[in-house]
Amino acid sequence: MTIKNKKAETKRFSFFILTASTVASSFIGLASTIILASNFGTGPEMDAFLIALVVPKTLSSILMTCLAMLAVPRFVAVKEDYGEQSVWRLATHIFLLAAVVLSTASIILALLSDQAAQLIAPGLSDDDQRMTGLFIAALAPVLTVGALETLMKSFFQAMGRFSVTVYATVFGSLCYLVLLYFLIPVYGILGAVIAVSLQYTLILLCQLTIGLWGNAHLVSLKSDDEQRKLLKTLVSSAAILTFTTSVRRLNPLLEKYFASQATTGSVSYISYGARIVTLISNFYLRNVSQVLFPSIASHFAQASPKQAMSEVILGSRLNMFIIFPLITGIEILREPLIRTIYERGAFTAEDTVNVSLALFYGSLFLLQPMVQSLSSKALYSINAVKFISFDAYLKLAMYLGLMYLLMPRYGFIGIILAGSLTITWPLHFIYLYFRIGPYDFKSFLTALLRILALSAVMWVCCIYWAELVTFQSQTLTDLVQLITTPVLGVLVYAGGAWLMNYPEITLVLEKLLTRKKRKTSRKKSS
**What average pLDDT score do residues 52-62 get?**
89
Number of CB atoms found within 10 A of residue 327's CB = 20
pLDDT score for 526 = 53
Q: Which are the contacts of 390, defined by CB distance < 8 A and separation ≥ 6? A: none
For residues 408 and 330, give the distance between their C-alpha atoms in angstroms, rounded to a whole number: 26
pLDDT score for 496 = 85
For residues 323 and 282, give the distance between their C-alpha atoms in angstroms, rounded to a whole number: 12
Rounded to the nearest 5 degrees, what angle is found at the Cα of 335, between the Cα atoms of 454 and 484?
55
Residue 23 has pLDDT above 80, yes or no: no
For residues 326 and 315, give the distance between their C-alpha atoms in angstroms, rounded to a whole number: 17
For residues 147 and 256, give the distance between their C-alpha atoms in angstroms, rounded to a whole number: 21
**What average pLDDT score do residues 105-111 get?**
94
For residues 311 and 309, give the distance between their C-alpha atoms in angstroms, rounded to a whole number: 5
Q: Which are the contacts of 269, defined by CB distance < 8 A and separation ≥ 6? A: 42, 351, 354, 355, 357, 358, 412
Write the burial class of residue 316 (CB in 10 Å: 0-12 exposed, 13-18 middle, 19+ buried): buried
pLDDT class of 83 with cuts at 50, 70, 90: confident
**What average pLDDT score do residues 260-274 get?**
89
Can you give the pTM of this predicted structure? 0.79
376, 428 contact by CB (below 8 A): yes
**Rg of the chain in Å (alpha carbons):** 24
Distances (CA, A) of 496 to 451, 460, 492, 508: 10, 13, 6, 15
pLDDT score for 505 = 54
Write the burial class of residue 358 (CB in 10 Å: 0-12 exposed, 13-18 middle, 19+ buried): buried
pLDDT tens figures, 118-148: 999 998 888 999 999 999 999 999 999 988 8
CA neighbor of 116 nearest in space, from 141, 134, 142, 102: 134
For residues 327 and 363, give the distance between their C-alpha atoms in angstroms, rounded to a whole number: 6
pLDDT score for 9 = 45
Helix axes 474-499, 503-525, angle to 10 degrees: 80
Reduce the secondary structure of 331-370 to three states and give it as a string.
HHHHHHHHHHHHCCCCCCHHHHHHHHHHHHHHHHHHHCHH
**What average pLDDT score do residues 101-118 get?**
93
Residue 112 has pLDDT above 90, yes or no: yes
pLDDT score for 447 = 83
For residues 154 and 73, give the distance between their C-alpha atoms in angstroms, rounded to a whole number: 10
CA neighbor of 71 nearest in space, from 237, 304, 313: 237
For residues 240 and 25, give the distance between their C-alpha atoms in angstroms, rounded to a whole number: 34
For residues 340 and 37, give the distance between their C-alpha atoms in angstroms, rounded to a whole number: 12
Residue 375 has pLDDT above 80, yes or no: yes
CA neighbor of 211 nearest in space, from 100, 95, 110: 95
Amino acid letter at 88?
W
For residues 454-466, one letter each, b for 16 or more C-beta atoms within 10 angstroms of the residue's C-beta and e for the rest, the string is bbeebbebbeebb
Residues in the chain: 526
Listed ranges 5-19, 42-56, 287-301, 432-446; the one with the highest mean pLDDT: 42-56
pLDDT tens figures, 336-349: 999 999 998 899 99
For residues 230 and 233, give the distance between their C-alpha atoms in angstroms, rounded to a whole number: 5
Lowest mean pLDDT among 10-14, 207-211, 343-347, 457-461: 10-14
Average predicted confidence (pLDDT) for the chain = 82
Residue 67 has pLDDT above 60, yes or no: yes
pLDDT score for 192 = 92
CA neighbor of 248 nearest in space, from 61, 386, 56, 50: 61
For residues 466 and 481, give the distance between their C-alpha atoms in angstroms, rounded to a whole number: 6
For residues 244 and 389, give the distance between their C-alpha atoms in angstroms, rounded to a whole number: 5
